[in-house]
C-alpha cells in the first residue's frame, strides 16, 4: 500500500498531466476557431449543403472540446478535494 505522501505525489503528477491536456485542448479549440473563420471566409456565399455540414461539424467539435475542458475541471476539483481529505 502506498503512503499518503506517495499518493499525494501521484495525484500531483496526474493533475499536471490533466493541466497539459487542458492546454492542448484549448490550443485545439483555438485552431478550430481559426479554421472555421478561414473556411467561412473562403466559402462565403456558398449555399452548398456540404459547406454547411462542414461548418456544423466544426461547431460541434468546438462544443465538444468545451465539454471536455469542463469535465477536466471537475476531475481536477474532485482530485483536489480527495487530496484535502488525506
- What is the pLDDT, as a whole number, of residue 71? 97
The whole-number pLDDT of residue 66 equals 96
Cβ contact 71:21 at 8 Å: no
Give the integer Cα–Cα distance in Å for 54 and 7.
45
User: Phi, psi at residue 28, to the nearest 5°?
Assistant: -65, -40
Supply the pLDDT for residue 73.
Answer: 97
Picking from 7, 10, 15, the residue whose alpha carbon sits closest to that of residue 76 is 15
Q: What is the pLDDT of residue 44?
A: 77
pLDDT along the chain (86 residues), means of 10: 89 96 97 92 79 89 96 96 93
Can you give the pTM of this predicted structure? 0.82
pLDDT at 1: 77
Cβ partners under 8 Å of residue 61, min gap 6: 32
Domains of the chain: 2-83 (1.10.287)
Amino acid at each position: 500500500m502506498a503512503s499518503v505522501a506517495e499518493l499525494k505525489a501521484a495525484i500531483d503528477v496526474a493533475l499536471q498531466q490533466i493541466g497539459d491536456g487542458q492546454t492542448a485542448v484549448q490550443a485545439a479549440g483555438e485552431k478550430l476557431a481559426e479554421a472555421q473563420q478561414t473556411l467561412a471566409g473562403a466559402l462565403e456565399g456558398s449555399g452548398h449543403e456540404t459547406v454547411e455540414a462542414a461548418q456544423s461539424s466544426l461547431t460541434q467539435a468546438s462544443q465538444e472540446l468545451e465539454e471536455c475542458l469542463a469535465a477536466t475541471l471537475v476531475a481536477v476539483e474532485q482530485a483536489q478535494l480527495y487530496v484535502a481529505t488525506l
